[in-house]
Structure 1
Amino acid sequence: MSAGTPLVEVRGAGVRIGDATLLDGVDVDVRTGEILVVVGPNGAGKSTLLAVLSGDRVPDAGTVAWEGEPLASLRPRELARRRAVLLQENHVSFPFRVVDVVRMGRAPWEGTSSADADDAVVAAALAAADVAHLADRRYPTLSGGEKARASLARVLAQEPRLLLLDEPTAALDVKHQTQVLALARRHADAGGAAVVVLHDLPLAAAWADRVVVVARGGIAADGAPADVLTSDLLSTVYDHPVDVLTHPVTGALLVLPRHGTTVQEVAAP
């Protein structure tokens, strides 16, 4: 597929739980060749939007389509071959080895010709996520960051066209944060797509092709980082002063929350 082709299209999506509205009238496109980063404050609806994009949550209103086909019409195994989801928390109840956890990502391909490549795909995923040296370790014995990387390797082993990553860098050090987002970049450049939920605004500015800002269950902005990540918008959405500057050497966006100051104090005469 050519870069920029819509892969998933969400129109008018609404999600309610009891009296609470989690999403309301949301329109979002996920396009091939792009890293789409979703940002917003706690409780804004980011994870709910990811669940709608993945097909794990059918919206109460609106539509979700994969290349024009209703996402809800796809059988679970076919859906699992098209998209893979990395959640914020990944629990494994039994002491499986890391390599066995990663191999679980190959389950959607069982019985197909692609299963012949299982060993090679698992090995490549372990290496890409920098956990090959942990292959024989028991998953529960890993640190938080190691578990996050092992779970990422499982997602990569699934060989999806669409990666859906919910806070994939939260437990990682600087080196592995960069590695994870570089993986998303390579996946998009190869013709896939990646949707990444981030709280880290500097990372969003550095890696996103397009940024969606979610606020109070709606889309506050959708566009290129330079157009969306503005001081006025971010300060309003987060109810906290945020400065957006230009790096004097690289020209990159620098998004810096202002410490020790509130929006009200900034607005005061």
Structure 2
Amino acid sequence: MTAPALTIAGLQVHCRGTRILHGIDLPAIEPGTLVALVGPNGAGKSTLLRSLAGLLPTTGSLRLGDFDLLRCSRRERAQQMGFMPQQLPDGIAMSVLETLLGALHAGQTGQTPGAIQRAHGVLEQLGIVHLAMRPLEQLSGGQRQLVSLAQAMIREPSLLLLDEPTSALDLHHQNRVMGTVRGLADQGRIVVVVLHDLALAARWADRLVVLANGRVQATGGPQETLTPSLLANVYKVDARVETCSRGHLQIAVDASL
């Protein structure tokens, strides 16, 4: 599939009279691009993602091609994007399969042909098809995180917004999830993901957006963006950026500043 470009200009978010995001401007994000939002705690990463998802009062311009994401209905937005929050709410008394079918049919009347097969296919991609009939409330934090990602993927949206999809996962599942996410971008989707792990971001993302204090500090490819100077200014660490034998960037922190 091929998605239109995502354009973000002058994006601002206010909360209780305080400005949280300060006029976010980004170059157009083209189909097939995986963008990682990175930065220290409190930088505004999740706020930016939630504003893109239409979950916060937001001003500015946010468009997916000709589609105005700030002025559309929730149903129209759901047809264009899939959103994965940091964690699923507690108290959902449904099986994993039921939650996926609910996400697939949200805002629709009637059943989608092949819905169960599609749900099983997404679970298979993430390596959790064996959990299909398990109650959500019996899953571990990492398993719930994978289910949340499956919910975002189930409608095959052109734009995926993922808030820390690997934070509760072991190394195997981190790699599997990021490989899956990379594959979704390669199919022509736009994927915007919040990550704390700079090594993961550098390995899998096409573009990094570095945030601090609600402002964009830098944006570009991992090689050009992750420099010792940026790490000192944004993260307050004395660090080296090294390339391992397989060509992946690694961050070696020597001291806090």
For the superposition of Structure 1 and Structure 2, which TM-score range results when normalised by the shorter chain? Answer: over 0.9
What SS does the aligned partner of 2:70 have?
helix
The residue aligned with 1:53 is 52
Question: Hey, what does 2:89 align to over in structure 1?
Answer: 91
In 2, the alpha carbon distance for the partners of 1:62 and 1:73 equals 11
Structure 2 equivalent of residue 262 of structure 1: 256
Shift of 1:255: 1.8
Supply the AA of the counterpart residue of 1:256: A
Deviation at residue 15 of structure 1 after TM alignment: 1.1
Name the % identity.
36
Instruction: Pick the aligned partner of 2:247 from 230, 234, 251.
Output: 251
The AA in structure 1 aligned to 2:68 is P
Greater radius of gyration (CA): 1
Q: 1:93 to 1:226 in 2, by over 3 A?
A: same
Task: Return the alpha-carbon distance in structure 2 between the equivalents of residues 104 and 129 of structure 1.
Answer: 19
Identify unmatched segments of 5+ residues in structure 1: 264-269
State whether structure 2 residue 42 is matched by structure 1 residue 43.
Answer: yes
CA distance in 1, matches of 2:105, 2:90: 16
- Tell me, what secondary structure is at the counterpart of 1:115? coil
1:68-111 per-position Cα deviation (integer Å, ceiling 9, x unaligned): 33212322222112101111111142321111112122124734
Could you tell me whether the CA contact under 8 Å between 2:43 and 2:214 is conserved in 1? yes
Q: Show CA shifts across 1:160-212 (max 9, x none).
A: 11111100000001111111111111111111111110000110111110000
Does structure 1 residue 224 correspond to structure 2 residue 218?
A: no
Query: Quick check: 1:12–1:26 contact (8 Å CA) kept in 2?
Result: yes
Aligned length in residues:
256
Contact kept? 1:81, 1:108, Cα under 8 Å: no
**Aligned residue number for residue 133 of structure 2:** 136
- Comparing 119-128 and 200-209, the one that deviates more: 119-128
Q: Distance in 1 between matches of 2:130 and 2:43?
A: 38
Quick one: distance in 2 between partners of 1:241 and 1:176? Answer: 30
Q: Which residue of 2 aligns with 1:267?
A: none
* Unmatched segments (≥5 aa) in structure 2: none
Given the two structures, how large is their TM-score scaled by the length of structure 1?
A: 0.89
Q: Deviations over 1:107-162 (max 9, x none)?
A: 247347x8113122111111112211111111111111111111111111122111
Q: Which has the higher helix share?
A: 1
- Separation in 2 of the partners of 1:94 and 1:168? 20
Cross-structure match for 2:151:
154
Root-mean-square deviation (CA), in Å? Answer: 1.8
Query: How many angstroms does 1:6 deviate by?
Result: 5.5
